[in-house]
Amino acid sequence: MVKDNSRNSSDDRTDGEFAEPEEQLLPAEEFIPGEEEETRESEVVILQKELQLLEGQLQDMRDRYVRAVADLDNMRKRTRREAKEAQQRAASSVLLDVLGIVDNFERALGATNEAKHGNAKALYDGIVLIYRQLVDMLSRRGVKPIAAVGRRFDPAVHEAVAQVPAGPDQEEGVVALEIQKGYSYGDQVLRPTKVGVTVHTAQAAEK
């Protein structure tokens, strides 16, 4: 006859004591072998696409840089060419005027031979014509004579090279004599006028 040990064991427990519940093991998560590899492959694909995008942007920037350098070089060449052409046009215009003056000099030289035979007026008229032509050419290009005689001495446009004794009614520091005519070009002084300036008689004697 088999004895009931479980009953006896339960009888041996004292009051207040309970049997500890058996520990139940939770099922482990199932491992899918290909899932991690697929994740890595997708990350690689994303990185490759980003790399291709950056390479495309870099190539676009390179193309823009090359075009900008080419445009700058062309602009420099065009600027130099246009400046050279402008200089040539300006020089050609001046040279044409000078050639006209040369023509008149030749006429004046021809009149010199006639002057030897008593036609001095033809020589004088030729020289006057040349002078007027030169003055007109300078005037058309903005070259103007600087006024001097009767004006207060201005060191910005006048160069004092002589002293002239002032008369009883004359002020000191006035231009009384023009020795060499000066010219201006726009706001620029090409050449100051060489002048004689009035001073008191005592100062002129000291000098």
CA distances to 173, 181, 190 from 186, rounded to whole Å, are: 26, 16, 9
SS3 assignment, position 30? coil
Chain CA centroid to CA 79, Å: 12
Q: Which pTM value belongs to this model?
A: 0.48
Q: State pLDDT tens for residues 163-187.
A: 988 887 878 899 999 988 888 887 8
Return the pLDDT at 152: 92
Pull the structure tokens for residue 186.
């726009």
The answer to whether 145 and 172 have CB atoms below 8 angstroms apart is no
Write out the two tokens for 41. Answer: 């492959």
Fold of 144-207: Nucleotide Exchange Factor Grpe; Chain A, domain 2 (2.30.22)
- pLDDT digit string, tens, across residues 34-72: 566 777 778 888 888 888 889 888 998 998 999 999 999
| Greater pLDDT, 186 or 25 | 186
Name the residue ranges covered by the structural domains of the chain. 144-207
